[in-house]
Structure 1
Amino acid sequence: MKTIQLSPPQPTAIPNQNRIDIPSSVGKGGIDILPFASGLQLMFVDMQLKQPTVFQGFLEKPSVCFGFCLKGKFHYRPSCLDQPFTVNAGDSGFFYYPRSVEAFEKATDKQRLRIHLILESEHLFKVVHGDEDRFYPVLKSIEKKTPCRIGHNITPVMRAVLYQMLHCPYHGMTRQLFLEGKAMELLSHKMEQLKSGSISGTPMKSSDTERIHQAAQLLVHDLEHPPNIMTLANSVGLNRNKLHLCFRQVFGLSPFEFLRNQRLQTAMVLLQDSEINVTQAAMMVGYSNMSYFTRSFKSMFGITPSHLRKSPSTAPPN
């Protein structure tokens, strides 16, 4: 297994964008880095590896990072943490490293696709100004300069924003504005996930977590005729309020938002099948109002279902 030390980023022909290319001996692709005037930095990691590879790099200054792994699996070992951890496709995480650190990343899958949001800690305090109590566990780690990692899943609404960023239709300054706006939108979803995960101040009971996953399965079992909220709560042995609270802690969404996103994602998969038209796809996932379905679909994916139906190659990958 090869060990590669990542080189410093270099300017590209695209204004305000730097890049780190990986050596051709290990694969193709690299890391694109876009700094924004807001202080937020966007990083795209897109690589095709020929073999499992260990990447060695340095984080030059204390930073807050939000990571979203769309494809690939890797093992990460920063020097400031006692134990390494594994990240799989579909994982998201919040990271805080209070000092410059050396990090080793062992990539075991050939394809890697990730997006990171990076900002300095003082910018995070500005973001949460006036709502500090809801983010106390996170802010406490930063104030005490204690390394911190909090793992979550990528929610459906986050995934939609991520793929809109990957398939940005614009160029030049318009692209810069679009990506900065989407980065801020993604940050808002991630902060809401962090906030909802710290509402109780204590971890959820494993039995409650199991009930929430059972509730999610009941919602997606029949997208055309899902249970109402009271039936769902009774089915898993929770009251309505606790169902909402625990659902947000596990998925970062309310049960209704989770159902809506699952319906729209299923519709997208159906529309990639040439035998299914827009009306059929909408009806199969529980939408009877075509105008509402079209608005919801475009709001989530940035493309109308009819456009996707005509040009399936423009759809985000699964």
Structure 2
Amino acid sequence: MKIKSILYKAESNSHWLEDQPEICYPNSFEESIHLPKIMGQGDIRAIHIRQGIHLYLFNQKPLQTIIIEAQKPDGLLEIDFLVSGQIRLYGINRKDYCDGASGKSCLTLSKPTSDFGLSKDCPTLYAVLYIHPDLLREEMDGGHILAKGLSRQVEGLQDTFNHLSSVTDSMHLVLKQILDCPYVNSLRRLYLEGKIYELLAMRLEQLITRDKSINSFRIGSQDIEKVEYAKELLVRQMESPPSLIELAKQVGLNDFKLKKAFREITGTTVFAYLRGQRMEKARLLLEQGDMNVTEVTFQVGYQNPSHFAAVFKKQFGVLPSSII
């Protein structure tokens, strides 16, 4: 990944402004990228352990809403870890975007261009690991380390493949150990390489476990359509959502199959998905500035403003009152 420039909105100016990051090289395999002080605190670290494996760590508290314009390596396996905070991933020319969910990890194939945004006053810890597919073409326990779906993606037989999972406490610990590495010089490189491979092993294990689950629990095209319909109903009825049994009846599945299929397809549970959608709508309403926190609380289906504030802070790292 090459960071080309950074756009930001200052308090006194509603237009996007552009600035360049400051880059220093503490050793032969690391870069430390600092944003201008007007934009925020923290840094971006790039670790290039060897050819074909790179880790980027974003440890930021932006003082302004910023967009980082980045050029990514094309055709590598990309694994994102949003440990805390909030990140907005943009499509080509920033016409489309999606918001990353805190505590989630996405495994996909990298695209050459992808800008992403960080929200003002929202502390964010975000890591991106890039691996060349050839480094993973080794056998493990008598089978290919890559699941079949990922193998087809790497070989260009699928245009869209992604696997969503949770950032576990163990992954969080390894990322913190990378940030706090106590060694220098060659020992530092050895330590960081070991930790990066440990992180990779944890994440691929989630993928392999998921593929074994899918092999024992078949999901048909009609089930996929019903899960998509269930997602639509949850968003439409988030103020007063149906119970799991009611939702299953509405989409034409039993509750057990809905739970299993929903998790396999989306990578999360029914009500974790609902919570995430509620929080995204709440953030949007707060940013629009037409409602106070209590009004937004009820608008997205919560009855207790204190509970809503706690869930919101867990999702985005800040209290809802700081968004207004």
Q: TM-score, normalised by structure 2?
A: 0.55
Secondary structure, aligned partner of 2:29: coil
- Which residue pairs with 1:175 in the alignment? 188
- Which residue pairs with 1:285 in the alignment? none
Indicate if the aligned counterparts of 2:21 and 2:35 stay in contact, CA closer than 8 A: no
Separation (CA, whole Å) in 2 of partners of 1:69 and 1:127 = 29
| AA partner of residue 162 (structure 2) | R
The unaligned stretches of length 5 or more in structure 2 are 1-7, 10-15, 225-254, 269-324
> Which residue, 16, 41, 45 being the options, matches 2:58?
45
Separation (CA, whole Å) in 1 of partners of 2:139 and 2:131 = 11
- Map of 1:122-271 to 2, 5 A cutoff? 122-126=134-138, 131-132=143-144, 135-144=147-156, 146-199=159-212, 200-201=214-215, 202=218
- Map of 1:10-21 to 2, 5 A cutoff? 10-21=23-34
Indicate if the aligned counterparts of 2:79 and 2:108 stay in contact, CA closer than 8 A: yes
Indicate if the aligned counterparts of 1:42 and 1:118 stay in contact, CA closer than 8 A: yes
Structure-2 change in CA distance of 1:14 and 1:5 (3 Å): farther
Shift of 1:134: 6.0
- Which residue pairs with 1:34 in the alignment? 47
- Identical residues among aligned pairs (%): 19
Structure-2 change in CA distance of 1:5 and 1:154 (3 Å): farther
Two-structure CA RMSD over aligned residues (Å): 3.9
Shift of 1:21: 2.2
Secondary structure, aligned partner of 1:13: strand
Say whether 1:121 aligns with 2:133. Answer: yes
Separation (CA, whole Å) in 2 of partners of 1:69 and 1:8 = 22
Structure-2 change in CA distance of 1:6 and 1:141 (3 Å): farther
Range 34-43 or range 175-184, more displaced: 34-43
Indicate if the aligned counterparts of 2:90 and 2:115 stay in contact, CA closer than 8 A: yes
Shift of 1:168: 1.9
The unaligned stretches of length 5 or more in structure 1 are 207-236, 252-318
- Map of 1:292-311 to 2, 5 A cutoff? none
Separation (CA, whole Å) in 2 of partners of 1:20 and 1:46 = 11
Structure-2 change in CA distance of 1:183 and 1:4 (3 Å): farther
> Which residue, 67, 74, 87 being the options, matches 1:54?
67
| AA partner of residue 143 (structure 2) | D
Indicate if the aligned counterparts of 2:137 and 2:145 stay in contact, CA closer than 8 A: no
| AA partner of residue 83 (structure 2) | L
- Map of 1:69-80 to 2, 5 A cutoff? 69-79=82-92
Shift of 1:146: 2.0
- Which residue pairs with 2:117 in the alignment? 106
Indicate if the aligned counterparts of 1:73 and 1:89 stay in contact, CA closer than 8 A: yes
- Which residue pairs with 1:293 in the alignment? none
| AA partner of residue 92 (structure 2) | S
Indicate if the aligned counterparts of 1:15 and 1:172 stay in contact, CA closer than 8 A: no
Indicate if the aligned counterparts of 1:16 and 1:34 stay in contact, CA closer than 8 A: yes
Shift of 1:29: 2.8
- Which residue pairs with 1:64 in the alignment? 77
Q: How many pairs were matched up?
A: 216
Range 172-181 or range 5-14, more displaced: 5-14
Separation (CA, whole Å) in 2 of partners of 1:190 and 1:127 = 17
Structure-2 change in CA distance of 1:161 and 1:60 (3 Å): closer
Indicate if the aligned counterparts of 1:72 and 1:109 stay in contact, CA closer than 8 A: no
Q: TM-score, normalised by structure 1?
A: 0.56
Structure-2 change in CA distance of 1:23 and 1:33 (3 Å): same
